[in-house]
Structure 1
């Protein structure tokens, strides 16, 4: 079981249209077909029709102040900007849960999030090899009008998913169990940077997300090499370069955090200094000396607001250029790491192919009369990766 929170949103109609129809295509951004939808259901709604669920949930979100007043509370407070919660529950490919089992899991997950009394739309998809269900929940309580607090929602779903797997009798995501044990012990949970939800947009924008450097095709001439030996040698070469890539990106991420923190601190100090200097005549003249513009001298003496606003816009453009330059530098560092990884991996592939060819030649020379005292030394096989290849699953 892998729960995934897709995020918060403003439009119930938009996310419902995505879940209740087929995936959009480049030439058809609004498909009318719904072949991938297996079944749909609702929770705490006055309708069983999923097409009307989005409109009813939107009406409840708009009526939040009236609901607070009817419940005896204060209708004030800040308006909830994102009342939509969208998350999904995914089972493994070898599991075949029915509608009843999926509905039970959805109800338990809503209870884990504290949304058991809230409105929700449930849609099961059948377009992938692994069974999964989408849940669209309304954060506004239909009884009190208050918004649900979703602090540590991913952690709560992670703990619930661990309990769900234990109830099923098989732990499929061992890493999640270890991470929860570390959390209970008060220890830090270590994840690779591309698994972290924090700064995901920055990593993607700066090109710091690692790409797949491992190629899937085999050696050039498979008839002249020992394929079993080549696969093991290739796995060992990949393990070696992947460890170096993890270390390189971990160091880059640590350095990027420090540099971004220093940049934001310095830019904030410059903005505060500009605001402080623009309040006094001496400060405005000091800024004018930096600008060296006689045309703005009178405006600086009189303290014209449009002139001060122009200074702020110039400073914002300068800061934007600084941020773009720093992001570009981090992206170049990330691409340099990937380039070294590809070079080392290709070198390891050449060595693996040469070694597998020599192994094949030795087998052809010795044949069955090979001495039993001579053994073939092969690298230790690495663990297969991912649940699709029979390995360990990864927590999302």
Structure 2
């Protein structure tokens, strides 16, 4: 069992269109056929039609303030920007769970996430060699209007998947069992850079596609070099720069995570201080001294709501510019890593061609030496791309 959280979204109709139809065409056209859909089902909805289910979930998310008021709670609070939760459950190749077993697994996963009372749409696909289902859940509770908290949702699904495999009588992912045992013991689970599941958007945004980074052209004159020696040297040069590349991005990711956490904490403290000081005359005058605007002096003394809201909007714009500057700095760091990788790789290609030319010149006498000097280079297998691409993906 491999659970994979595909992320949060804004549109129920968009994710439902993806799950209820075939995969998009190369030109991003949405196909009208739905041959890969095996069956559909709903939870806590008054309909079994999937298209209508998506519209009902969208209406529930939109009516969250009214649901809170009817349930006797506070109607205020920040508006929920992403009410859609999309995740998938995949079985191993060779397993043949029926619809009843898949539905039971979906109910168990929803209960593990605390969404057993929420609206959900279930879509089973049969276009791959491993059976899998997609679950589209509404984060808004249809009774109370409150938003479900999804902290550590991946770890929750990981623990549930381990229990599910134990019930089936066969553990298929031993590494997940070890990691969960280490977490229960209070140890930190740290993955190597090539084992970390990175989102496809990061590859596309930061230029981390191995196929694009590795542009190994052939030597200038293939007749004057030993092509077998050149291929081995090229593979060795790429293996060296790839390890440095992943290590550089891993360090950048660790540093960026710390800097983003510090930025969010500093901005949250600033917002709280503004809200606290805007409640008193002394605090509003202190803010006015920073603004240095005479026309706002009377409003600061009287505590006008529009003036306080203006201060909040100015603070939000400033915080947005801070986040944009930090993201731009991290993007530039990623581009610097890529530039260094390309330079080192070109240098390795030049050395490989020179070495292959020397091997060609020594062709009559180097046959016995090649077995001693050249050793096979292990190449790491490609990383899996998730349940939509023949298994793999999120395994913790």
Normalised to the residue count of structure 2, the TM-score between the two structures is: 0.68
The 1:123/1:226 distance shift into structure 2, 3 A limit, reads: farther
Structure 2: how far apart are the matches of 1:46 and 1:101? Answer: 24
**Given that residues 235 and 382 in structure 1 are in contact (C-alpha distance below 8 angstroms), is that contact kept between their aligned partners in structure 2?**
no
**Given that residues 284 and 300 in structure 1 are in contact (C-alpha distance below 8 angstroms), is that contact kept between their aligned partners in structure 2?**
no
Structure 2 counterpart of 1:384: 380
**Given that residues 2 and 90 in structure 2 are in contact (C-alpha distance below 8 angstroms), is that contact kept between their aligned partners in structure 1?**
yes
Structure 2: how far apart are the matches of 1:101 and 1:127? Answer: 15
Where in structure 2 are the equivalents of 1:1-396 lying within 5 Å?
Answer: 1-9=1-9, 12-24=12-24, 31=30, 33-43=32-42, 49-54=49-54, 75-77=71-73, 84-90=84-90, 95=93, 97-98=95-96, 100-101=97-98, 104-105=101-102, 107-114=104-111, 120-125=120-125, 132-137=132-137, 150-162=150-162, 171=172, 176-191=176-191, 192=193, 195=196, 210-212=208-210, 214-215=213-214, 217=216, 219-220=218-219, 229-264=229-264, 267=267, 272=273, 276=277, 279-280=281-282, 283=286, 286-287=289-290, 291=292, 296-301=293-298, 303=300, 305=304, 310-359=310-359, 362=362, 364-366=363-365, 370=367, 375-386=371-382, 395=394
The 1:241/1:124 distance shift into structure 2, 3 A limit, reads: same
Bigger-Rg structure (1/2) = 1
**Given that residues 64 and 145 in structure 2 are in contact (C-alpha distance below 8 angstroms), is that contact kept between their aligned partners in structure 1?**
yes
C-alpha distance after superposition, 1:187-235 (max 9, x if no partner): 112244995789x99x799x65744364265634666655555454444
**Worse overlay, 149-158 or 33-42:** 149-158
C-alpha distance after superposition, 1:272-296 (max 9, x if no partner): 36973883385366336xx3xxxx4
Aligned CA RMSD, in angstroms, stands at: 5.0
* Alpha-carbon shift at residue 130 of structure 1 (Å): 6.3
Structure 1: how far apart are the matches of 2:189 and 2:71? Answer: 41
The 1:36/1:341 distance shift into structure 2, 3 A limit, reads: farther
Structure 1: how far apart are the matches of 2:182 and 2:169? Answer: 23
The 1:176/1:267 distance shift into structure 2, 3 A limit, reads: same
C-alpha distance after superposition, 1:150-202 (max 9, x if no partner): 5533123223445667858684x66545433432332112244995789x99x
Structure 2: how far apart are the matches of 1:119 and 1:323? Answer: 34
**Worse overlay, 141-150 or 277-286:** 141-150
**Given that residues 39 and 125 in structure 2 are in contact (C-alpha distance below 8 angstroms), is that contact kept between their aligned partners in structure 1?**
no
Q: Which runs of 5+ in 1 are unaligned?
A: 69-73
Normalised to the residue count of structure 1, the TM-score between the two structures is: 0.68
Structure 2 counterpart of 1:71: none
Structure 1: how far apart are the matches of 2:268 and 2:49? Answer: 51
- What is the count of residue pairs matched by the alignment? 372
C-alpha distance after superposition, 1:235-284 (max 9, x if no partner): 43333223322332333334434444554555556553697388338536
The 1:216/1:67 distance shift into structure 2, 3 A limit, reads: same
Q: Which runs of 5+ in 2 are unaligned?
A: 386-390
**Given that residues 194 and 209 in structure 1 are in contact (C-alpha distance below 8 angstroms), is that contact kept between their aligned partners in structure 2?**
no
**Given that residues 225 and 360 in structure 2 are in contact (C-alpha distance below 8 angstroms), is that contact kept between their aligned partners in structure 1?**
yes
* Alpha-carbon shift at residue 334 of structure 1 (Å): 1.6
* Alpha-carbon shift at residue 16 of structure 1 (Å): 2.2
1:376 match: secondary structure: helix
2:107 match: secondary structure: helix
**Given that residues 19 and 123 in structure 1 are in contact (C-alpha distance below 8 angstroms), is that contact kept between their aligned partners in structure 2?**
yes
Structure 1 counterpart of 2:388: none
